[in-house]
């Protein structure tokens, strides 16, 4: 069965209504941005329910064993990993305040998977396929008409002046030879937060900021609405891909201004230096799991337009060694270099000492693995994390700091990146 054009939009609307009240859901969507998603075949993947789950809440000596046992077998898996899983993978410690205290890792083997490929082919995997399709087509809830969102207080982890100080502190460390580049993030916490339908919140964020790695996760009281433009890691057969983002400029939706903005980003010595450092880091990470000499940069300094921003993106690809476990991919590459800096291990320690809050699921990853072993995953940025039991939500934003960084411009870039979320919360 195939859906294209208006038929696809109508089916997605029905599917959203059907999924809106599901307690366990992973919704991974490319928003028809195939230009960035040519590696993956799916326009939309939806996982519902849980046949089996893996939840890791603290440091575990047998993490690899737990992961590899869960990942064995030819079944669908969907997962969300916290940035703080780094402490286990790299033997680090951190004591930063974590407002949400969500699991380090959450993964499911779903009861039902609904897939739509880029050419519109629909497939339902799991039991009672005909009944599921019938229920989708006859879903009648009107989630758009009953959407409510409120919060009493917005608390930033850094003021602009404090962010300015942190940028200067990082630049001092760079000058002293401690690091080359560090990704500095700040967090905004929303107190007394209430949203009667976080899935509709995600849909509105996606309309405001459509991206090729959009994702929504709801597990009980926990929800993530993510409009990410960035791929972390994707496996296709014996090939592994990563598409790091470093470099941002404003999109004005005016042809002349956009041309100037795109040209500035493409030719910026500072942005290109910042970008190539992370590309080299990713190449080094992939070389740990790929055949010698097989890692290459398929595209360097690509400029891609999104609704609010232009982003500089490169594609790094390598040929895999045989018989790698999922934990092997994480040990070699996680967390992603674009959200840490270089050298990665040293910078992660500095992040814990310089940033004032724990990142949690922000700058982690959400993704899936298919029964044939292929997988794909994003970088959790441009996201709102909501916890209905704690009545708290938060979002974070960050950027890479190099020796040439200007504190005011770095702060302005963070405001640009978070604009879609801030606009959504103010409506």
Examine the pLDDT at 82 and tell me if it is beyond 80: yes
What's the CA gap between 148 and 127, in Å, rounded? Answer: 34
What are the structural domain ranges in the chain?
5-143+151-426
Q: Which two tokens stand for residue 195?
A: 């949203």
d(CA 100, CA 386): 9
What is the spatial distance between Cα 121 and Cα 136, in angstroms, rounded to a whole number? Answer: 16
At 97 the three-state DSSP class reads: strand
CA distance linking residue 147 with residue 191, whole number of Å = 19
Average pLDDT over residues 60-75: 88
pLDDT over 90 percentage in the chain: 85
Beta strands in 90-244 (DSSP E): 105-109, 112-117, 122-126, 149-150, 153-156, 181-191, 194-195, 213-219, 222-228, 231-236, 239-243
Q: Which of 39, 21, 45 is nearest to 368 (CA)?
A: 45
- Please report the pLDDT score of residue 62 as a whole number: 79
88 half-sphere exposure, CB direction, 13 A CA radius: 22
Q: For the domain covering 5-143+151-426, report its CATH number.
A: 3.60.120.10
Q: What's the rounded Cα separation, in Å, for the pair 312 and 401?
A: 16
Q: Are 313 and 336 in contact (CB under 8 A)?
A: no
* pLDDT tens track for 24-34: 999 999 998 86
Mean pLDDT of 282-301: 97
Position 141 scores a pLDDT of 62
Residues annotated as part of the active site: 230, 246
Name every residue whose Cβ is closer than 8 Å to that of residue 141 and which is 6 or more positions away in sequence.
Answer: 17, 20, 21
Nearest in space to 115 (alpha carbons), one of 385, 376, 382, 379: 376
pLDDT of residue 374: 96
pLDDT at residue 411 tops 60: yes
Backbone φ, ψ for residue 37 (5° rounding): -110, 30
Instruction: Give mean pLDDT, residues 197-223.
Output: 95
Q: How far is it, in rounded angstroms, from Cα 215 to Cα 394?
A: 16
Centre a 10 Å sphere on the Cβ of residue 1 and count the other Cβ atoms it contains: 10
DSSP H/E element including 199: helix 198-208
**Residue reference for tokens 């990563």:** 242
Tokens of 239: 């090939």
- Predicted confidence at residue 21, as pLDDT, reads 81
Residue 409 pLDDT exceeds 80: yes
pTM: 0.96
Q: Is the pLDDT of residue 377 over 60?
A: yes
pLDDT at 75 exceeding the cut of 80: yes
- Distance from chain centroid for Cα 103: 16
Q: Confidence class of residue 36 from pLDDT cuts 50, 70 and 90?
A: low
């Amino acid at each position: 069965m195939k859906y294209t054009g208006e038929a696809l939009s109508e089916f997605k609307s029905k599917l959203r209504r059907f999924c809106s009240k599901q307690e366990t859901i992973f919704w991974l969507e490319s928003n028809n941005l195939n230009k960035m998603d040519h590696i993956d075949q799916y326009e939309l993947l939806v996982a519902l329910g849980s046949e089996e789950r893996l939840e890791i809440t603290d440091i575990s000596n047998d993490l690899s064993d737990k992961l590899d046992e869960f990942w064995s077998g030819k079944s669908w898996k969907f997962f969300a990993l916290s940035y703080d899983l780094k402490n286990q993978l790299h033997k680090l410690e951190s004591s930063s305040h974590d407002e949400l205290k969500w699991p380090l890792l959450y993964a499911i083997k779903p009861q039902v998977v609904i897939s739509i490929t880029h050419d519109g082919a629909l497939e339902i995997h799991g039991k009672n396929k005909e009944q599921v399709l019938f229920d989708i087509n006859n879903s009648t809830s009107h989630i758009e008409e009953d959407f409510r969102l409120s919060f009493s207080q917005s608390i930033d982890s850094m003021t602009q002046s404090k962010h300015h100080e942190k940028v200067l502190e990082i630049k001092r460390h760079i000058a002293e030879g401690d690091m080359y580049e560090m990704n500095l993030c700040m967090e905004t916490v929303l107190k007394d937060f209430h949203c009667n339908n976080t899935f509709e919140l995600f849909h509105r964020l996606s309309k405001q900021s459509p991206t090729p790695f959009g994702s929504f996760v709801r597990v009980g009281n926990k929800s993530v609405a993510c409009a990410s433009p960035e791929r972390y890691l994707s496996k296709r057969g014996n090939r592994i891909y990563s598409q790091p983002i470093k470099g941002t400029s404003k999109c004005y939706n005016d042809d002349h201004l956009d041309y100037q903005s795109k040209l500035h980003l493409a030719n910026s010595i500072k942005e290109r230096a910042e970008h190539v450092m992370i590309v080299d880091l990713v190449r080094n990470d992939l070389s740990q799991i790929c055949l010698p000499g097989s890692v290459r940069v398929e595209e360097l300094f690509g400029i891609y337009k999104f609704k609010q921003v232009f982003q500089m993106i490169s594609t790094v690809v390598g040929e895999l060694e045989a018989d790698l476990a999922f934990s092997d991919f994480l040990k070699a590459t996680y967390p992603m270099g674009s959200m840490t800096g270089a050298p990665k291990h040293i910078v992660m320690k500095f992040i814990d000492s310089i940033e004032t809050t724990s990142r949690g699921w922000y700058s982690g990853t959400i993704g899936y693995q298919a029964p044939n072993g292929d997988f794909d995953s994003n970088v959790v940025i441009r996201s709102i994390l909501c916890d209905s039991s704690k009545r708290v939500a938060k979002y974070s934003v960050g950027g890479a700091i190099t020796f040439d960084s200007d504190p005011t411009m770095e702060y302005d870039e963070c405001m640009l990146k978070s604009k879609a979320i801030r606009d959504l919360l103010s409506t």
